[in-house]
Structure 1
């Protein structure tokens, strides 16, 4: 059997750089373990295959009918692109549901960063896969903890850690335990008037992360720049001005985008505070999208908040938003990398109408202000704490 060409895999449309690869040693270990087991492709499930290294290597080896779940829209597009490039097929994409796991004998998992996400996945496997299913989970040793074994142990009677190889390790879980009547996720929490609903893979879970909290405080207080904007728009509407109609405003309200929405805290809060506005929330994480939809419903604003699974708003029309809200990430997987934030700034520049506004919160140690000024337009600081900075950027004409 010819060796699979891992080096030809690309991360696109995710950030690409010399220190970022489309496969790692964990992918290879999972593929090797799967090939050593006599499990048909139709009874094999792959979860968390970032760019297709596991799925495509197995299909190239003749394992057809593999079911695949990827949380990230970027991963889904990369898998499709890599499959086309290599002329490979034989897999079907699924969400994390019964259709993905029904009858599965073997589940291969790239361990997620969040224990809550691992808990939701382990419960789903124990709940829907075959009674004799084997879950093989792998990760880089430096990112693995005993807590991962403990989480798997809540859903499986046997969890065995394998010997580390090439700085990666596999955990083999078998003998699924009885599952509770209801899945452990999503979970719900109230924060004042705001209700957050979160699946395991959503950033910060049902907590209100501190960066979002700072941005919400600034928006709720109505800083001077925001207040001037509100007054100007109100005057334009009273005077029959054209600004609202020419900027894509619906029924006198603004079009607002929560870019990288997570659980939808910003989108739901804005919709609650501004009932005339129409809000779109988008995220590349399927878990975040499911959470944001549930959050919008829990707060009674589902009719005014549209949630989409997308890569940096790539499916949204250019110049179609008056306001963008953004709490950008500073990690790509386990790597600290500002490329993810840059892609979102570029997206905001494309999606905002001329003179539209971007409100951003970010770690004060990062030099995002200069980058936003370069990519989008003049950027002013609204608040700075020892940890976070909130800015307002106006899209240049």
Structure 2
């Protein structure tokens, strides 16, 4: 069997750089372990496959009908693009908020085959739920950064997969902790760490334990009249993170309407975008403070979107706040937004990288109308103000604490120069 062409995989539409690649040694170890087991693709679930390295390598090796869950919209699109590039078949399935079957790519390896569950083709995207996991005998997992996310995943596997399911989780040794073993031990009687290889390590969990009547997530917390709901994979959980709190405090003191006090011609209310919404704290807080506003909240994380939708419902603003699973607001038209609220990430996976913030600044520049306003909060050491001025327009400091800076950028009329 020829070696899988990992080097042909791309991260697109995620940030691409010389020091960022679309696979790592953990992906290879998970693929090798899966191929060593006599478990068909139809009984296999892959969770956390960032760009498709695990799923597509297994498909290439003849494992078809695999079910896949990726949290990030960028990862889902990268998987589809890499599948198309390599000529691997894609099964119909749920993929984010589209509500339509995933586009089928011409198969080269699985023509006419069926996985026995009616899925057909090579792999099928899905959400973290019973439909994804029912009947699964092997679950391959790239360990998430968050212990809360790991707890939610482990509980889901124990709750919905086959009684004899084996969960094989892997990660880079430098990012692994004994706490991960302890979390897995809450859902599985047997948790065994394997010998490290190529600076990665696998953990094998088996003998699923009985689950509680209700899943451990989502969780809920109250914050001065704001109810936050969070799934395990949502940044900061049900807490109100410091950066968001600083931005909310600054917004309370600032006029945030479209520059000049006007909104788009014919619009009944200003259109406000919470870009990278997380649990929806900014979007819901804005909607509660400005009943006339139309708010869109968007995030590339499926866990964040599920959390934000629950937060919107819990605060009674579902008639004014729409939450979408999207990458950098790609579904919004150009020049369609009056105000953007942004608390950008400064990590890509386990690496500190400002590329993620730059993509969101560029997205804000695209969706803002001329004269529209971007409010951004960021770690002061990152000094984003020159970049915001270049990409958006005139940028002024609104607030500064010992750790965070809040800026107000006004979208210039002409297109920003690259």
Q: Which residue matches 2:241?
A: 209
Give structure 1 stretches of 5+ with no counterpart. 234-242
Q: Which residue matches 2:376?
A: 360
2:191 aligned with 1:175: no
Q: Which residue matches 1:237?
A: none
> What TM-score do you get using the length of structure 2 for normalisation?
0.90
The match for 2:180 among 148, 157, 177 is 148
**1:62-211 paired onto structure 2 within 5 Å:** 62-89=62-89, 90-211=122-243
CA distance in 2: counterparts of 1:46 and 1:103, whole angstroms: 13
CA distance in 1: counterparts of 2:181 and 2:316, whole angstroms: 39
Per-residue displacement from partner, 1:239-264 (whole Å, max 9, x unpaired)?
xxxx3342x63x2x210000000000
Q: Which residue matches 2:279?
A: 263
CA distance in 1: counterparts of 2:77 and 2:383, whole angstroms: 30
The match for 1:373 among 389, 394, 402 is 389
How far is 1:230 from its partner? Answer: 8.0
CA distance in 1: counterparts of 2:301 and 2:260, whole angstroms: 36
**1:233-244 paired onto structure 2 within 5 Å:** 233=261, 243-244=262-263
2:296 aligned with 1:277: no
How far is 1:303 from its partner? Answer: 1.0
2:383 aligned with 1:351: no
Q: Is the 8 A contact 2:258 2:338 kept in 1?
A: no
Q: Which residue matches 1:59?
A: 59
The match for 1:306 among 316, 319, 322 is 322
CA distance in 2: counterparts of 1:386 and 1:201, whole angstroms: 28
How far is 1:232 from its partner? Answer: 5.0
CA distance in 2: counterparts of 1:13 and 1:231, whole angstroms: 32
How far is 1:7 from its partner? Answer: 0.2
**Which runs of at least 4 in structure 1 moved beyond 4 Å after TM superposition?**
229-232
Per-residue displacement from partner, 1:259-291 (whole Å, max 9, x unpaired)?
000000000000000001000000000000000
CA distance in 2: counterparts of 1:137 and 1:2, whole angstroms: 25
Give structure 2 stretches of 5+ with no counterpart. 90-121, 414-418
Of Structure 1 and Structure 2, the greater helix share is in: 1
CA distance in 2: counterparts of 1:163 and 1:152, whole angstroms: 18
2:48 aligned with 1:48: yes
> What TM-score do you get using the length of structure 1 for normalisation?
0.95
SS at match of 2:35: helix
The match for 1:292 among 301, 308, 316 is 308
CA distance in 1: counterparts of 2:76 and 2:333, whole angstroms: 21
2:333 aligned with 1:317: yes
CA distance in 2: counterparts of 1:275 and 1:168, whole angstroms: 51
Give the RMSD, CA atoms, in angstroms: 1.0
CA distance in 2: counterparts of 1:316 and 1:286, whole angstroms: 18
CA distance in 2: counterparts of 1:26 and 1:339, whole angstroms: 24
CA distance in 1: counterparts of 2:48 and 2:2, whole angstroms: 25
How far is 1:324 from its partner? Answer: 0.2
How far is 1:365 from its partner? Answer: 0.2
